[in-house]
Amino acid sequence: MLQKLKQNQFLFEELVKRDFKKKYKRTILGMAWSMLSPLLMLLVMKLVFTQFFGRNMDHYTTYLFCGTLIFSYFSEATSQGMASLMNNGAIFSKINVPKYLFLLSKNVQTLINFGLTLIIFFIFCMLDGISFTWKFILLLFPIACLVLFNLGVGMILSAWFVFFRDIQYLWGIFTQLLMYMSAIFYTIEQYSYTVQCAFLLNPVYLFIRYFRKIVIESTIPTIWFHLLMLADVGIVLLIGCWMYKKYNHRFLYYL
């Protein structure tokens, strides 16, 4: 995979540049929207939910920001990745290039956006009185896992989207439901132990929870928590790679 990526390095770089230019074309603020969008969402959610959930919670803004930061990245990466094959059919139908290249370029673009927002997040942490410790280095683990998870989900969605156009509408509904099931603006302590364990079945919640434990609680998740995240990432990547390998030649007939 790395060898093919190196062979097609020029095309890959051009795809990333194209995605950036296309996303911010004819916008006044340009790349600033990468940081403004999650911040505006945070502001709205803070105004709406602080009175209901954040009255007695320390660092509620940071708690909320953790959720919106992770979920926005997941939603953007998977939604854009879903259409990566369809939008580039004119290229790989004429040139023999690895099809995952188009999905990977989308993920790189959304990762850069995520990195810019992450800088704002750390500034908010300082303003909220969060103490920075060496444990913040461990945030690289959930970020790396999230990148791979988004890539795996994107491979599955982009393959399905070629054959079933309805997947875009179903995915929009599913992500809306997933947002409410990821404890972004509320805590799960009021639920029973069984329900709290059920939340761990949601991979997005795991990434959000990891960030909150490191940043707000300054504690390191257990080894089982790490293994559960790795298992989720491994499963979606294996399924995604299998689908791309199985339907590699059939994609051309449905574009």
Count Cα neighbours of 208 within 13 Å in the Cβ-side half-sphere. Answer: 31
- Sorting pLDDT into bands at 50, 70 and 90, what band is 85? confident
* Residue 91 CB partners (closer than 8 Å, separation 6+): 97, 102
The ranges assigned to domains in the chain are 2-254
Of 166, 151, 176, whose CA–CA distance to 80 is shortest?
151
Between 66 and 97, the more confident residue is 66
Count Cα neighbours of 150 within 13 Å in the Cβ-side half-sphere. Answer: 29
Q: What percent of the chain has pLDDT over 90?
A: 39
- pLDDT of 51-83, one tens digit each? 556 556 778 888 988 998 999 999 999 998 888
Instruction: Please determine, for residue 128, whether its predicted confidence score (pLDDT) is greater than 60.
Output: yes
User: 40-44, 49-53, 56-60, 182-186: which has the highest mean pLDDT?
Assistant: 182-186
* Residue 128 CB partners (closer than 8 Å, separation 6+): 59, 61, 62
Instruction: Please determine, for residue 248, whether its predicted confidence score (pLDDT) is greater than 80.
Output: no
Model pLDDT, residue 24: 54
Helix (H, G, I), strand (E, B) or coil at 80: helix
- pLDDT of 155-177, one tens digit each? 999 889 888 888 888 999 999 99
Lowest-pLDDT choice from 17-31, 83-97, 224-238: 17-31
Q: How many CB atoms lie within 10 A of CB 128?
A: 16
Lowest-pLDDT choice from 112-121, 132-141, 216-225: 112-121
Q: Which residue do the tokens 């890539």 mark?
A: 151
Q: What single-letter amino acid sits at 2?
A: L
- Sorting pLDDT into bands at 50, 70 and 90, what band is 14? low
Q: What is the mean pLDDT of the chain?
A: 82
- pLDDT of 195-232, one tens digit each? 999 999 999 999 999 999 999 999 999 999 999 999 99
Under 8 Å between Cβ of 94 and 79: no
